[in-house]
Amino acid sequence: MESTKYQVFLSSTYSDLAEERESIIKAILEMYHIPIGMEMFSAEDEDQWEIIRRTIEVSDYYILVLGLRYGSKTSDGISFTQKEYEYALERKIPILAFVMKDNVPLPIDRRDDDLSEINGFRELVLRNSKMAQFWETKDQLIKSVSISLMKQIMQKPGIGWIRGDKADIDGALSKELTSLSKENRELRKRVLDLESKISFRKPSIDVSINKPTIDENFNSYEILTMPDVLRLQNVPSHLHKYISEDDIEKYNREIPSQNELF
């Protein structure tokens, strides 16, 4: 017997599918799993939906059975069954959908006079649940539900429930410690790699402790004599033919000032 028990939420209208629901619940129990559905809730309106919402969230699988009745509506204007289905889609709960063929002969109390709402819901289900199956008889439905649920559990096992005395707590802790130890080793290696790269990039600075060499001419200096302003009368007369007033002015302009020299 499987030690993990999976919670299976059963969604459908109630009065027209009461026998089918009872048989599905029995089939799930015979598989040693946990069926849960709207007949287990007694609150009304928003309170009822809040309980249903929380129950869907913790369910491992969601089974939808559609007949030809749309069912009672919530304050949102859609049926509880459709609201449950849309929430299971939103929460990405694995969905097993079973849609009654629309040509199955049914008494008046098991089908709506106006099928527009249920047909719209059926189209929504067939569009979003690619693996939806059609059914005609109760026996065919129960067989399909049992086989499909078994396959789903094998292919996509949920979280499920395990008895406290059966849970491998030590094994789970050991696995977690092993994972953390591996992560710690990887982080330490990364730190060492980063430290080595930082060390490699440090600048190399050479410091000399020998007595510095001093230039012997450091304190020597020369006395600079500023040139005098030149006047034409100071130029020997035999040179006058080689020089003009403009040449003298240009010369005087190019004499540096003391600020320029110092």
- Enumerate the domain spans of the chain: 7-165, 232-256
Question: Which of 68, 71, 88, 89 lies closest to 80, judged by CA?
Answer: 71
Q: Other C-beta atoms within 10 Å of 132: how many?
A: 17
pLDDT in tens, 72-123: 998 889 999 999 999 999 999 999 999 999 999 999 999 999 999 999 999 9
In the numeric block, which tokens belong to residue 158?
């949920």
Separation CA 165–CA 167 (nearest Å): 6
- 219 contacts: CB under 8 Å, gap ≥ 6: none
Q: How far is Cα 34 from Cα 160, in angstroms, rounded to an integer? A: 10
pLDDT digits (tens, 9 = 90+) for 202-257: 666 666 666 666 666 656 556 667 777 777 777 787 777 777 888 878 888 887 77
| pLDDT of res. 9 | 98
pTM as predicted = 0.63
Q: Which CATH class is domain 7-165?
A: alpha beta
Query: For the chain, what percent of residues have pLDDT higher than 70?
Result: 82
